[in-house]
Amino acid sequence: MANLKCNHTRKSFKEYAQILDENLENEEVFVFPPSSAFLEGRFKFTQGAQNFYPAKNGSFTGEIGQDMLDEFSIKTVLIGHSERRAIGENEEQLKAKFEYAKKAGFKIIYCIGESEEIFEKGKTKEFLKSQLENIDLNYDNLIIAYEPIWAIGTGKTASIEIIEDILNYISKFSKSSLLYGGSVNEKNISEISKIKNCSGVLIGTASWDAKAFLKLMNVAKEN
């Protein structure tokens, strides 16, 4: 999965989508562009939303509701990304988003992850457990992404042992597919994808260039 964050215009995303479309075979690929760059049409990857407001439409200045997602046939959403939590999205809002998306039947990629401080204190597991309390872990269209905040965009990936341990732990609560995210790159993707309970990766920085993203997929496939 590629989280393009606040990168790409509609023009550059069109080129990005075309490069993926020309090169993808049967990989299961999701791309989350900025909402201003959503594209109409069918692609070999699934287009998802980085953010949405839990309403069909209405007086919610600056927000994107379900009607706007429907226009682009978007049925996959990210919820709980640490960069959204950092700008003030709280558990109550995340719960409302989760419930709305579940009712709409969306595929939900629910992101959880601890800060460096919690990690250093050895309190990661209990923290992650608390982040999962508000959501229905039995929702069958749920994917959980473990993204330690200290590993996002920092070049500091969690070790294979940590990822394995945490994904095993999360798998005790939910049968959902589990992803890892946080500085996934060409060097670590194949080891990470081999981890038991790791069904895929959520990639930020290393996915912003379509060719680099394709290369990562090839590296993961080769090993």
Q: Catalytic amino acids?
A: 81, 147
Q: Which of residues 1-40 bind ligand PGA (CB under 6 A)?
A: 3
Using rule CB under 6 A, residue 112 touches ligand PGA: no
Report the chain's terminal Cα–Cα distance, integer Å.
18
Q: Which of 71, 140, 153, 194 binds ligand PGA (CB under 6 A)?
A: 153
Closer to ligand PGA at the Cβ: 166 or 202?
202
Distance CA 33, CA 168 (A): 30
Distance CA 17, CA 213 (A): 11
CB-based burial label for 192 (10 Å; 0-12, 13-18, 19+): buried
Q: Which of 183, 192, 214, 220 binds ligand PGA (CB under 6 A)?
A: 183
Are 87 and 78 contacting, i.e. CB atoms less than 8 angstroms apart?
A: no
Burial 18-45 (b: 16+ CB within 10 A, else e): eebeeeeeeeebbbbbbbebbbeeeeeb
CB of 101 to ligand PGA, least distance (A): 18
How many CB atoms within 10 Å of residue 111? Answer: 25
Structure tokens given for 138: 């039995």
Using rule CB under 6 A, residue 50 touches ligand PGA: no
Using rule CB under 6 A, residue 198 touches ligand PGA: no
How many CB atoms within 10 Å of residue 191? Answer: 15
Using rule CB under 6 A, residue 114 touches ligand PGA: no
Using rule CB under 6 A, residue 113 touches ligand PGA: no
Q: What contacts 102, CB < 8 A, 6 or more positions away?
A: 108, 136, 139, 141
Stretch that binds ligand PGA, among 21-29, 98-106, 160-168, 200-208 (CB under 6 A): 200-208
Using rule CB under 6 A, residue 193 touches ligand PGA: no
Distance CA 137, CA 176 (A): 8
Closer to ligand PGA at the Cβ: 84 or 129?
84
Q: Is 133 helix (H, G, I), strand (E, B) or coil?
A: coil
Binding mask 129-148 for ligand PGA (x = CB under 6 A): ------------------x-
Structure tokens given for 113: 């992850």
CB of 65 to ligand PGA, least distance (A): 24
Stretch that binds ligand PGA, among 11-19, 22-30, 69-77, 180-188 (CB under 6 A): 180-188
| Nearest residue to ligand PGA, by Cβ distance, number only | 204
The site for ligand PGA (CB under 6 A) is made up of 3, 147, 152-153, 181-184, 202-206
